[in-house]
A and B are shown apart, each in its own frame.
Chain A
């Protein structure tokens, strides 16, 4: 048997999934082991081997590869626990990373935070000015050398940085993507004095116009690259000692993987590693279920992530925001829209009820966790409303205190508003659902999509209790709660199911028309580079798929849209077609008639995605058939539950998911208790278990807003 293994290391848990080429699937979950996350990886693999009835060595020997999602780069950047690095840039332009285009004062903040202007601040600078050195050289927008590199001055600047004991140096010069010669020479000059020192060049890492994000991307990658290597190299060695012969791959923000030994060179691309596993898993499941357009909602205790799949492909963004810095790394578009089950309900100075965005986090957690939290959360409201079973939360792993939940809601919300605790809980529940719907809608609309044309997937521990409500508000066609064998570790499933991808890009901004042979040459070079990078991963792939795109904008408008470009040699007619496609995408995204074609077009950045398709196709296995059992056999009890404030508490049937099987149909109102979550089915819904064990929610009648 051949397995592919996905390992997802989160802040709290490390999950693993093994998929066999016979269609079997196994999963395991162990606590994470910070700061030595590698120990938790070995532990979870041992647990996985146990499930398969194998020794760790046997499991690893049969693994074609391990696909690894890690939160380490993101955590390091967010917490500022990064390496001491130096930065070389063009004379006169050092302050780019301090000015931050002004945007750095508020990027990534919520509207409430942005409105409270007096509290907005820039983050701590990426490097102090003493470690940001200006180099005498200048290249212009055409790539022409205006001032040659002053090598003596550069050597002196490098010596100053080395005297400060930097562990790596980032090099990012103006217009280096048009002419990388000065950056390349600077690397040689650094290695003259410090052979082997980690050096990142912006022209290799992020050859894209706009120096602030290119500088930030290069510096951040340099800050985490060496430490990522220090984590991955010993992990790789330990796995090999335990018998792994296949490749260790690391998930990137693009939803594709990179070989562990290549990853430190482009460390910044692994930043979205843990965010994207869920969307990748959803994309694979969507392929299996035949869904082309999916809104993915992944609701945990503290975060609410939204991703989109359109026409079968996860929607990508070309930039991301980390610590109020916009960085240039292609990523699946996963947006955090506030908070999950831990979102705190509170009253403002005017006595108005708000839910979130502040969260009770893991510590102290919701009041009902009885860990010292006194502020009411969404989870507390769910408990008071009977949706969550205090004795069977997460399969009984955690006992909840209904009294603490009632006390918190009573003291902070119900009494000040003159409501009963139940009515206050209902209000929190409803506000959370409506607000969620508004925010998910915003994500869809800003991508130019209409939620009514989508199926929604709801995963994560806290999503399935609320998805019937926000799904109805959004008007989605139906809602899928993935509950098959992959559900316990859905992100790890996504990792196991992902292919290998490499993205190569280069900015070459020019006003249209651009010579077709020049564009062909640009793409041919990018494709060759992407193929070479793919080959360097050390994994046998079945097939390589290449996809070209170019970011185009109307000359006077800000938004750039990645637009597909045909393969092969291009003609002027092809490029006219690309522009026509851009215009139609622009109209679809921003509305008909919104493009200003009279201003002309600009081709900004060319990009090639290379995907290596792996031989083992990972799919969710079929669920056990009902074998004569009826849906009634799955009933575990009845209790009063409030799912609709207009209907109040109703005696509601509780189902044990373990006893449900494909074909079973549940008429709401109902609650389905799953070891990993709780699914609420309102009186307006019908739930059906599909062939893979997923729960599909459908509205009984049309309700839209």
Chain B
């Protein structure tokens, strides 16, 4: 593993605020208030100032969004901003890319430690940074501008704004490439550098920054957008300080973080202590690789604190790594919506409630000079999936928290970039942004939102087909929801979608990059026996007859309608798209919840009518048979479900037995599993499953079959992509054969029972 002496200085980590305060040279006076000032706040002042701080942060975001010229900002909302206290703790963050909350503070901590004496931190300064080891963003495309705010000669706080830049240099357009061996193939990371001094944008620094890009003017515009957002925030903040005084405003800021922290701690105290496990994968560390790389999580909750332990995760490799900011971001991307949806996002307070244990040099805590350009949409995203899974399992064990249970959403961003000459004879680079329309995971009492978006971007967008066709030389043969893609379950995962496009009105072939994992083993896990969502599938149909069909008055509606050589895209590919080729992109859905054979048959019939589930899958997975009118055939359904359970018994070697009967009320782990006096029982039939605290899961009957048996939404032949065997694994209740766990995983995937303190 390569490691470069001297690079460790750039590894920013959260540290105790008082340690940080002590590390700042005395020449930099930090404004703060004591606990008394926080306690003395009256509710009126607190609420008014709190609301004003929200309004100020919101206006910063508006400024940034309106000024940016980057489609990933304006269409995908891949940006964020924050207001921080004097030490960089986040008081208020935006509602855009929630990943970024985990890195903005890191950049300030680092700057306080490494810039205070030289070149100094002064009034009118702003710093520019795109070094993900330092923070401010998760990969080099995330360029952040952050600024100290001074009042009466003291450093009062920090504002910051970050947005994804389309291109900041490196060997490939977009600044990361499947061919990367290390970070030197990508954009150069730039640690905090003073881009504004005394209120003046420094031309030399700006040139240094924009010179690296293939789109220097756009990068320059976005730089101004971020400077503008900071100016907006600071101007309004100054007015607030003049009205209420710095001590009062600071007391409100501290209390906002304390309040968020206390509310999260209170929520955690109401949940059982225990340890929950989840394991995920990244397929292919780069172009032409066939490996599978593991990310492991054991989440422990003790009292009002969480520990995320990622030991056992694979070492850094190829181009599928992220530095420490990425693992922290993955945690925040799930913690914010799952545990803090109803708590104000004073993220500095929320981040006090957990610890991270992660090996240095692992994929998710990669050392310089690992390639990290793909970090956010690869390993960091995968961390978010695992944290989501563990949090959901924890919440599922108490009735009052079950409403917040949600299976994993689309497990990555399916990145497909196209480049070439557009219909106006100009060069173009664009992303297929329809892949923003991922499915959401199912909950205990609800289906996942169909084509609901990306979990990490609460306000994501997908473009209209007309805007895509207007801005790029393509014709979308279809853009639709994909039937059967949602993870089957008692509650169904939200479906994802697909597009099929052909080059249109362009004189030359295009270049393309496909990047996104989850093609052999799923990344969108189900819960409580719910099936995972679909495997991702990107195809290029070489030399297709799509154009001929159009010329003959036919529009292809399905892949079967298009003839040509099907070229399955691996997880990390650079390739060309010929003028006769068709491109099919099918991104990820959400996981299901609970055993699909327990789904209300009327809901299945509704799903068939609304083209969410095919009649074939209704019968083979849900065990629901419909009559000619599309209504449930009750008798046939009962028979069909009995057959499915009998098949499960046969495949897992369960012999029929008498069962005690269903278990109502009491403690539970999820919809299937009750806990009584340390015994784990099936809630449906009362059969004992084992003892809590023991590795009972591995002892239960199970089926391991080829992945295609999970349903039409899972790629049947994993050897297309990887060399390790991949299986559809179900762990069953020995009494009633209800699925307690349903996974599409490498065959050596660990089967570890979660443990809760009764």
Contact = CB atoms under 8 A, between A and B. Distances in A.
Interface of A: 91-96, 98-103, 105-106, 111, 114-122, 125, 128-130, 136, 138, 140-142, 146-148, 150, 174-175, 209-212, 349-350, 352-355, 417, 419, 426-427, 430-431, 434-435, 438-439, 441-442, 445-446, 509, 511, 554, 556-559, 589-591, 593-594, 596, 598-599, 645, 705
Contacts of A438: 51-52, 54-55
B66 interface: yes
Interface string B466-489: 110110000111111100000000
Q: Max chain A CB contacts within 10 Å: which of B217, B343, B470?
A: B470
3 closest cross-chain pairs (CB), A and B: A92-B478, A558-B74, A116-B341
B459 interface: yes
Contact of A419 (B43, B225, B497): B43
Interface residues of B, number: 89
Contact of B47 (A99, A352, A558): A352
B55 A101 contact: no
Given A117-B341, A556-B71, A211 B455 contact: no
Contacts of B667: none
Nearest to B228: A591
A427 B41 CA distance: 13
A117 B69 contact: no
A559 B504 CA distance: 26
B452 A105 contact: yes
A446 B55 CA distance: 12
B436 A102 contact: yes
13 contacts: A92-B557, A93-B479, A95-B481, A101-B461, A114-B458, A118-B341, A120-B449, A129-B611, A148-B553, A175-B466, A352-B47, A591-B228, A596-B218
Interface in B598-648: 609-611
Contacts of B42: 427
A129 B480 CA distance: 12
Contact of A596 (B217, B500, B504): B217
A417 B43 contact: yes
Given A93-B479, A509-B470, A117 B48 contact: no
A574 B675 CA distance: 78
A108 B62 CA distance: 16
B75 interface: yes
Interface of B: 42-44, 46-48, 50-52, 54-55, 58-59, 62-63, 66-71, 74-75, 95, 217-218, 221, 224-225, 228, 239-240, 243, 259-260, 262-263, 266, 337-338, 341-343, 345, 403-404, 406, 423-424, 436-437, 443, 449-453, 455, 458-467, 469-470, 475-481, 497, 500, 504-505, 550, 553-555, 557, 609-611
A557 B69 CA distance: 5
A350 B479 contact: no
Contact of A705 (B69, B243, B609): B243
Contacts of B70: 556
A230 to B, nearest CB: 29
A434 B52 contact: yes
Contacts of A100: 451
Given A99-B479, A118-B338, A349-B342, 11 more contacts: A92-B476, A92-B557, A98-B450, A99-B451, A102-B452, A102-B453, A115-B458, A119-B341, A122-B450, A353-B44, A438-B52
B463 A141 contact: no
Contacts of B505: 140, 142
B600 to A, nearest CB: 18
Nearest to A507: B466
A245 to B, nearest CB: 46
Contacts of A98: 450-451, 481
A140 B469 contact: yes
Contacts of A141: 423, 466, 469-470
Q: Max chain B CB contacts within 10 Å: which of A92, A96, A430, A511?
A: A92
Given A95-B497, A146-B475, A118 B453 contact: no
Contacts of A430: 44, 48
A593 B224 contact: yes
Contacts of B338: 118
Given A102-B451, A140-B475, A350 B44 contact: no
A598 B217 contact: yes
Contacts of B406: 118
Contacts of B52: 434, 438
Contact of B259 (A99, A129, A350): A350
Contacts of B463: 101
A599 B427 CA distance: 12
Given A92-B555, A174-B465, A594 B449 contact: no
B443 A118 contact: yes
Contacts of B228: 591, 593-594
A593 B227 CA distance: 11
A339 to B, nearest CB: 15
B304 to A, nearest CB: 14
Nearest to A424: B43
A140 B501 CA distance: 13
A98 B612 CA distance: 11
A147 B553 CA distance: 5
A95 B46 CA distance: 46
Contacts of A111: 54, 58, 95
Contacts of A558: 71, 74-75
A105 B449 contact: yes
A174 B555 CA distance: 14
A103 B43 contact: no
B95 A114 contact: yes
Contacts of B221: 594, 596
Contacts of B553: 136, 147-148, 150
A570 to B, nearest CB: 22
A92 B584 CA distance: 13
A358 to B, nearest CB: 14
A442 B52 CA distance: 11
Nearest to B342: A116
Contacts of B74: 557-559
B55 A117 contact: no
B55 A442 contact: yes
B66 A115 contact: no
Q: Max chain A CB contacts within 10 Å: which of B46, B63, B406, B466?
A: B466
Contacts of A556: 69-71, 218
A106 B224 contact: no
A122 B448 CA distance: 10
Given A91-B555, A118-B404, A594-B67, A349 B47 contact: no
Given A93-B465, A105-B453, A350-B263, A442 B342 contact: no
Contact of A210 (B464, B478, B557): B464
A211 B466 contact: yes
A511 B243 CA distance: 48
A122 B59 CA distance: 27
Given A99-B451, A99-B481, A352-B50, A117 B458 contact: yes
Contacts of A115: 95, 341, 345, 458
Contacts of B69: 554, 556-557, 596, 599
A590 B467 contact: no
Contact of A427 (B44, B95, B260): B44
A419 B224 CA distance: 47
A590 B67 contact: yes
A91 B479 CA distance: 10
B43 A427 contact: yes
A594 B475 CA distance: 32
A642 B718 CA distance: 73
B610 A129 contact: yes
A495 to B, nearest CB: 34
B127 to A, nearest CB: 20
Nearest to B409: A117
Contacts of A591: 63, 66-67, 228
A102 B456 CA distance: 13
A352 B53 CA distance: 15
A147 B224 CA distance: 46
